[in-house]
Every structure is written in structure tokens, then in C-alpha cells.
């Protein structure tokens, strides 16, 4: 069923999607397509685009490709853990309640990332902050949708970041606040075959990576030889967009 609304858009679509999985929403832009494809966390079965703008067609195609994007995660074996002193780290506070076993992909380079777990776990000292990922030092890259990246220090309110489940499916979360504070830092290095990954994180018990089964592991107890999840990608970025060029990051 093709649906074109006259004035309101979100509520009518929610009502229809709640009753049928065969709704096609008529849209005029990529932003409208994103809304239609994500209403009630299920989205419409598809969108019907009305536009004469080739650029808008490409934007809608990217929006569709970005919904439910899968990022292949692989186990990395930890090879080195060392305190590196004081520095500025970034907490990414989202507008979503994040779940155990998922997190944000962050790395010192744009060619490999570690899955950093949100602050969802109970502990005797501080209340959980399930909307928050203490993601790493200001220089680190964070993975966004459509293969893009951003520096942690550049994130701002309203930006969207990629949240990956430990099994690979992803969704986007909206940034509600970014907290940059000076803290003791820890360098974690790991490898998966020929691929190497590293990340500078805050040295504290509440900062966790993710094991192969989705279990979070604190950096305070992480040991050489442990395996944690991450992703490998082609390096080389120009303002966060992947490009094919000769580049060495280390």
C-alpha cells in the first residue's frame, strides 16, 4: 500500500506500520526517507521517491543502504596494555538507552576499531549511565554510518554515531552531549591476523571492551592474550570519508 500524507507524517505512518508490514511511504527527500524507514523501530517496507534532483536520489539510496548496515566484527587478541599518563578523553552521551553487548567502534587509526561498551553495568560506586560510551581520547576516530568516521573531539549535539551489536547489526544513535575531561589514560593494542588495532582509553574500571560472546570486560582486568571484538577497514580518510590513497597510520 502506497501512503502519501497531506500534513502530518510521523504519527500516521506509525499507526499504519503498527498494523501492516506492507506500507510504502511516498517521500520527497532523504530526510523523509530516513524517518519512514525507522518509524516504530521497524520502518515502512519501502519508500516511493518523488524528485527531479539526481543528487537527492543518491542521498536517498545512501539513506536506504545505511539502515541496518552490518559491520563484520572479528576477535582481536590483546598484545599490549600500558598506562600512558594524563590526557583528554571523550564521553559520548547519546539520546538512546544502549544495551549490553553493543557499543561504539573507536580506534587510533581509521583502518581498525575496537568495540567500546556503554556504561550499562551496575557497580557499588557509580550509577549506570546506559546512554553513555566513554569512548577514548580526543584524537581517536569513531565509526559513523555509510563507512564514514569522525574525530571524537569533533562530535557535537545532534550528530549521529554508529552503534554496533556484538553480532554485527548496527543502528544510529543521536549525540545529546559530549564530555571532554582530563583523565589518566591507557593504551590497548591488539591484532587479528595481519591486522593491528590500538586505542587510548580512560584508565578506569567502568571502561569496557566486548568479548566474542558479547560480554563486557573492564580495561582494569583486561590481560594480554584476551580476545575482544573490533572491525577492520580500509584506511585513508579525507574529512571522514574513505578514500583510496597511500597512507600510513601508526
- The DSSP result for 41-65, as a single string, is GT--SEEEE--S-HHHHHHHHHHHH
Q: Which pLDDT score is estimated for 146?
A: 85
Task: Please state, in angstroms and rounded to a whole number, the distance separating the CA atoms of residues 173 and 162.
Answer: 6
Q: Which pLDDT score is estimated for 61?
A: 84
Q: Which residue has the cell 536520489?
A: 57
Confidence check: pLDDT of 246 > 80 = no
Q: Which residue has the cell 563484520?
A: 72
The separation between CA 11 and the C-alpha centre of its own chain, rounded to angstroms, equals: 27
Of 137 and 235, the one with more pLDDT: 137
Q: Which domains does the chain have, with CATH numbers?
A: 2-66 (no CATH), 74-240 (2.170.16)
What is the pLDDT confidence band of residue 9, given thresholds at 50, 70 and 90? confident
Confidence check: pLDDT of 239 > 70 = no
β-partners of residue 83 are 186
pLDDT in tens, 124-147: 889 999 999 999 999 999 999 988
Confidence check: pLDDT of 73 > 60 = yes
For the entire predicted model, the pTM comes to: 0.79
What is the pLDDT confidence band of residue 247, given thresholds at 50, 70 and 90? low
Whole-number Cα distances in Å, 96 to 88, 129, 174, 177: 24, 11, 7, 12
pLDDT in tens, 98-127: 999 999 999 999 999 999 999 999 988 899
Task: Please state, in angstroms and rounded to a whole number, the distance separating the CA atoms of residues 242 and 72.
Answer: 17
Average pLDDT estimate for 187-209:
98
Q: Across the chain, what does the average pLDDT equal?
A: 91
What is the pLDDT confidence band of residue 68, given thresholds at 50, 70 and 90? low
What is the pLDDT confidence band of residue 235, given thresholds at 50, 70 and 90? low
Confidence check: pLDDT of 170 > 70 = yes
Q: Write out the three cell numbers for 120.
A: 550499562
Provide the 8-state DSSP code for 36. Answer: H
Strands of the sheet with 24-27, listed across from one edge: 2-3, 24-27, 46-49
Amino acid at each position: 500500500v502506497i501512503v502519501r500524507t497531506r500534513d502530518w507524517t510521523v504519527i500516521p505512518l506509525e499507526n499504519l506500520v503498527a498494523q501492516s508490514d506492507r506500507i510504502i511511504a511516498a517521500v520527497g527527500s532523504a530526510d523523509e526517507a530516513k524517518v519512514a524507514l525507522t518509524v516504530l523501530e521497524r520502518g515502512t517496507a519501502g519508500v516511493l521517491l518523488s524528485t527531479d534532483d539526481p543528487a537527492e536520489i543518491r542521498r536517498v539510496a545512501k539513506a536506504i543502504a545505511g539502515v541496518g548496515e552490518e559491520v563484520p566484527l572479528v576477535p582481536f587478541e590483546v598484545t599490549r596494555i600500558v598506562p600512558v599518563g594524563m590526557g583528554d578523553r571523550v564521553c559520548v552521551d547519546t539520546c538512546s538507552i544502549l544495551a549490553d553487548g553493543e557499543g561504539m567502534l573507536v580506534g587510533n587509526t581509521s583502518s581498525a576499531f575496537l568495540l567500546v561498551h556503554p556504561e550499562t553495568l551496575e557497580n557499588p560506586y557509580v550509577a549506570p549511565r546506559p546512554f553513555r560510551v566513554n569512548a577514548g581520547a580526543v584524537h581517536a576516530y569513531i565509526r559513523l554510518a555509510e563507512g564514514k568516521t569522525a574525530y571524537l573531539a569533533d562530535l557535537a549535539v545532534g550528530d549521529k554515531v554508529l552503534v554496533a551489536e556484538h553480532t554485527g547489526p548496527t543502528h544510529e544513535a543521536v549525540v545529546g552531549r559530549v564530555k571532554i575531561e582530563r583523565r589518566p589514560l591507557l593504551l590497548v593494542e591488539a591484532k587479528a591476523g595481519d591486522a593491528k588495532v590500538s586505542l587510548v582509553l580512560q584508565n578506569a574500571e567502568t571502561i569496557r571492551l566486548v568479548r566474542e560472546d558479547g560480554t563486557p570486560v573492564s580495561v582494569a582486568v583486561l590481560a594480554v592474550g584476551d580476545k575482544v571484538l573490533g572491525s577492520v577497514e580500509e584506511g585513508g580518510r579525507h574529512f571522514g570519508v574513505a578514500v583510496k590513497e597511500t597512507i600510513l597510520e601508526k
